[in-house]
Structure 1
Amino acid sequence: MATPLTADKLLAALRAEGVKVVEYGSWRTHSRAGHGAWGPINGVLIHHTVSSGTDGSVRMCHDGYADLPGPLCHGVIAKDGTVYLISSGRANHAGRGDSNVLAAVVAERKLPATNRNDTDGNARFYGFECVNLGNGADPWPEAQLLAIEKAGAAICRAYGWSAASVIGHKEWTNTKVDPRGFSMATMRERVDRRLGTKPGKPVPAPKFEPFPGVDFFKSYPRSPIVTAMGRRLAAEGCSAYAEGPGPQWTAADKESFRRWQKKLGDAPQYCDGWPGRRQWDALKVPKV
């Protein structure tokens, strides 16, 4: 049974992983103690704040609001990668979620679909709120993604867990959509690579761009990943571009990828223009 880390051990684990940490206010004692259990701990939950600006987002997560008192997480991850520690105890971040998901996290196996909300996640997960509007268009800077990776790895390393213990709020409950704008599957791959190195050491960069997830493309992102993908599609003779490609995902990108799916010989139902993991991996988009 995993007991919660003390404030000192949580801080030490994050710093050992190379996280830039700011201790915010009385974070060591700021918690929802007396409003439910805190532990046993089973994983890390990633959120987005639906807000902009570091100061206001940190204050909101510290104080909460009328219907949901703070703290609303254990740490706020700013766009520059700084982690502001808000609490080391129970926090109002996860709410109720699916007991089948919890069982999968404990067993470190593939997550099931969520279909019930019967378990108190605030007792079981560390929570990190990431500053982002959550509209699919607000960018996720690499510094911020790297901090998510490091924070998740730090807690996994402290408990001896695998990357399967890091999940998104939308994977915990079917009532949430966060985090939106990057793939949790890809984030777990990043955490897994980091756990294969010593804490605080550089992680070898992958040669090719990891699959960002179909939700990434369905949010019509503007990203250098889209440009790199388009160039590979053109090189494979699958271009539907009148000009470009460029960073904004468009109908031309979707049609170009559909041509790639057909070139792979996939069945018609898998040639809809939305990238799948196997199809993406076969394209070998250079890491950007």
Structure 2
Amino acid sequence: MATPLPAAALLAALRAEGVRVQEHGDWRTHSRNHKGLWGPVYGVMVHHTVTSGTDRSVAICRDGYAALPGPLCHGVIAKDGVVHLVGHGRANHAGLGDGAVLQAVIKETALPADKTADTDGNRHFYGFECVNLGDGKDPWPAAQLEAIERVSAAICRAHGWSQRSVIGHKEWQPGKIDPLGFTMDSMRARIGARLGGAAPPAKPPARYEPFPGAAFFAAGRRSAVVTAMGKRLVAEGCGRYKVGPGPDWSEADRASYAAWQRKLGHTGTAADGIPGRASWDRLKVPNS
């Protein structure tokens, strides 16, 4: 259980962690406290905005809209890594989520699947919106990911929390997908390393799917390998799926793999969307 950091203390914690901060207007007193309690706080929640452009995203997150008044978070993390502070106190970012997830955050244990929406998250979480369309295509620049890491670590350090106190909206509220484009487990690992915590238990060496040959990727192919490949492509920011990925080799798989090939610098027939050994080995598809 923790009392929320005063605005000045939050700002100091962020700057001490090396976060580049921009303050907006009356952010120190801009809140929804008149609608409910703020605190005790137990963690940090990460979102994506489903918008593009820093100025537009900051304005929406600060002011909200008719159905959901602002602030919609405490800070907006732009693609260049600058964190725009827009509110302090209760904010309309988390909504109702799973009480079992909150208990796991409090105990800093593994998260259960979010199944219910019975607990007020706006009261208990700091919230940060990250500028991203959330379509699986919009990239996550290194500077933005590092800012998420630094912001989260700063707040955890100030409260004496571990990286397990940082969760994604998709881990809190059923039906949510944000943030999409990186995994929260990978982000928590980064935060934990920054906090200098004990190393996680050693995992067995990763086993990757061997290249099945170009002929494998043809119409009518149905395999868990195709699903695993698609998930890796999404994680690399190369997903071109409207639905999925799934086990059936499709035009969306080919378009996604072509995006991966182009990301690696291939052009022409070398970026036709049919996997080759070199690009496949670099994709590191988990053994399926």
| Pairing of 1:159-174 with structure 2 (within 5 A) | 159-174=159-174
| Pairing of 1:81-96 with structure 2 (within 5 A) | 81-96=81-96
**Equivalent-residue separation in structure 1 for 2:277 and 2:173 (angstroms):** 30
Is the partner of 1:31 in helix, strand or coil?
Answer: coil
> Residue 187 in 1 paired to residue 149 in 2?
no
Give the aligned length: 233
Change in CA separation of 1:128 and 1:78 when aligned onto 2, cut-off 3 Å: same
**Is the Cα contact below 8 Å between 1:132 and 1:138 reproduced in 2?**
yes
Change in CA separation of 1:154 and 1:254 when aligned onto 2, cut-off 3 Å: farther
For 1:222, the equivalent position in structure 2 comes to 238
Amino acid at match of 1:103: Q
Per-residue deviation, 1:245: 5.1
Is the partner of 2:263 in helix, strand or coil?
Answer: coil
For 2:252, the equivalent position in structure 1 comes to none
> Residue 247 in 1 paired to residue 230 in 2?
no
Is the partner of 1:88 in helix, strand or coil?
Answer: coil
For 2:65, the equivalent position in structure 1 comes to 65
**Equivalent-residue separation in structure 2 for 1:30 and 1:107 (angstroms):** 30
**Equivalent-residue separation in structure 2 for 1:253 and 1:167 (angstroms):** 36
* Post-superposition CA distance 1:27-49 (Å, at most 9, x none): 00000011111001000000000
CA RMSD of the aligned region, Å? 3.1
| Pairing of 1:1-288 with structure 2 (within 5 A) | 1-196=1-196, 215=231, 217-218=233-234, 221-222=237-238, 246-247=262-263, 250=273, 252=275, 275-276=285-286
**Is the Cα contact below 8 Å between 2:38 and 2:90 reproduced in 1?**
yes
For 1:205, the equivalent position in structure 2 comes to none
**Is the Cα contact below 8 Å between 2:182 and 2:235 reproduced in 1?**
no
**Equivalent-residue separation in structure 2 for 1:152 and 1:193 (angstroms):** 12
Per-residue deviation, 1:13: 0.4
For 2:204, the equivalent position in structure 1 comes to none
Per-residue deviation, 1:101: 0.4
Per-residue deviation, 1:253: 6.9
**Is the Cα contact below 8 Å between 1:183 and 1:216 reproduced in 2?**
no
Change in CA separation of 1:38 and 1:195 when aligned onto 2, cut-off 3 Å: same
**Is the Cα contact below 8 Å between 2:136 and 2:238 reproduced in 1?**
no
Change in CA separation of 1:254 and 1:37 when aligned onto 2, cut-off 3 Å: farther
For 1:264, the equivalent position in structure 2 comes to none
* Post-superposition CA distance 1:217-268 (Å, at most 9, x none): 3467339xxxxxxxxxxxxxxxxx99x95537956279986xx8xxxxxxxx
* Post-superposition CA distance 1:3-24 (Å, at most 9, x none): 0000000000000000000011
Change in CA separation of 1:33 and 1:219 when aligned onto 2, cut-off 3 Å: same
Change in CA separation of 1:180 and 1:216 when aligned onto 2, cut-off 3 Å: farther
Change in CA separation of 1:256 and 1:55 when aligned onto 2, cut-off 3 Å: closer
**Is the Cα contact below 8 Å between 1:117 and 1:173 reproduced in 2?**
yes
**Equivalent-residue separation in structure 2 for 1:78 and 1:42 (angstroms):** 24
User: Which ranges in structure 2 are unaligned for 5 or more consecutive residues?
Assistant: 198-207, 209-228, 240-256, 265-270
Is the partner of 2:33 in helix, strand or coil?
Answer: coil
Change in CA separation of 1:274 and 1:56 when aligned onto 2, cut-off 3 Å: same
**Is the Cα contact below 8 Å between 1:254 and 1:274 reproduced in 2?**
no
**Is the Cα contact below 8 Å between 1:183 and 1:215 reproduced in 2?**
no
Per-residue deviation, 1:160: 0.5
**Is the Cα contact below 8 Å between 1:49 and 1:134 reproduced in 2?**
yes
Per-residue deviation, 1:56: 0.5
Amino acid at match of 1:56: R
